[in-house]
């Protein structure tokens, strides 16, 4: 009888161990997938920007500095470290230059009415919204993973099998936390 009780306890422990390991694996894969989703949206934005710049350039030939800033920000992304978290600064810089580009475009009534510009502006705005949603989704998955990794007794399983916490997407620059002020 005692052997059955010990056997039952061992089986229950192994079932719990497998379930906890599978939960940690699922959360890690979901977090990695969410990070990949962010990359997909960033790539989409990255590909749209040259089309936007070319459309706007014809109307705003004397706004050279704006184009240079967009190009520099886009280049910074290309040369940034492969870690998407570290690339966040370069991506945020690009977002800021795009805001400036759209703000300057307000001075050009013909450009504002141009169908190509309007389509590209909508596409980029849609992409920016998708990037934000992807980042929130990623942070939610990282939060769930962190909770399981830090809770007892699953933290023991996480430690034994080498599950580590992932970093949240955060705004590191205090300037980016402030409201944008556009002046002409």
Q: Cβ(82)–Cβ(113) under 8 Å?
A: no
Q: Residue 109 above 90 pLDDT?
A: no
Confidence of residue 40 (pLDDT cuts 50, 70, 90): confident
Task: Return the higher-pLDDT residue of 74 and 43.
Answer: 43
Query: Which pLDDT belongs to residue 42?
Result: 80
Query: Which pLDDT belongs to residue 41?
Result: 83
pTM of the model: 0.63
Query: Which pLDDT belongs to residue 180?
Result: 44
How many contiguous H segments (helices) and E segments (strands) does the chain have?
7, 0
Q: Residue 159 above 70 pLDDT?
A: yes
Least confident of 27-41, 47-61, 144-158: 47-61
Query: Which pLDDT belongs to residue 173?
Result: 58
Give the rounded percent of residues in the chain with a pLDDT score beyond 90: 29
Q: Residue 149 above 70 pLDDT?
A: yes
Task: Return the higher-pLDDT residue of 23 and 174.
Answer: 23
Task: Return the higher-pLDDT residue of 76 and 59.
Answer: 76
Query: Which pLDDT belongs to residue 113?
Result: 56
Q: Residue 156 above 90 pLDDT?
A: yes
Domains present along the chain, CATH in parentheses: 20-170 (1.20.1440.20)
Query: Which pLDDT belongs to residue 128?
Result: 84
Q: Decide: helix, strand or coil at residue 78.
A: helix
- CB-CB neighbours of 66 under 10 Å: 20
Q: Is the peptide bond before 153 cis (omega within 30 degrees of 0)?
A: yes
Radius of gyration of the chain (CA): 24
Least confident of 17-21, 92-96, 134-138, 143-147: 92-96
What sign has the CA pseudo-torsion 20, 25, 30, 32?
positive
């Amino acid at each position: 009888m005692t052997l059955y009780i010990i056997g039952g306890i061992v089986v229950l422990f192994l079932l719990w161990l497998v379930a906890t390991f599978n939960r940690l694996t699922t959360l890690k894969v979901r977090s990695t997938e969410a990070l990949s989703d962010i990359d997909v949206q960033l790539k989409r934005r990255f590909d749209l920007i040259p089309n936007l710049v070319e459309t706007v350039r014809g109307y705003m030939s004397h706004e050279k500095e704006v184009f240079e800033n967009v190009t520099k920000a886009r280049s910074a992304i290309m040369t940034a470290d492969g870690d998407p978290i570290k690339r966040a600064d370069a991506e945020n810089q690009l977002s800021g230059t795009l805001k400036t580009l759209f703000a300057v475009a307000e001075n050009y009534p013909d450009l504002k009415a141009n169908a190509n510009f309007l389509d590209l502006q909508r596409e980029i705005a849609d992409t920016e919204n998708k990037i934000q949603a992807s980042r929130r989704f990623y942070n939610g998955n990282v939060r769930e993973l962190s909770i399981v990794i830090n809770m007892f007794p699953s933290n023991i399983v996480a430690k034994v099998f080498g599950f580590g916490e992932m970093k949240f997407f955060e705004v590191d620059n205090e300037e980016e936390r402030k409201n944008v002020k556009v002046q002409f």
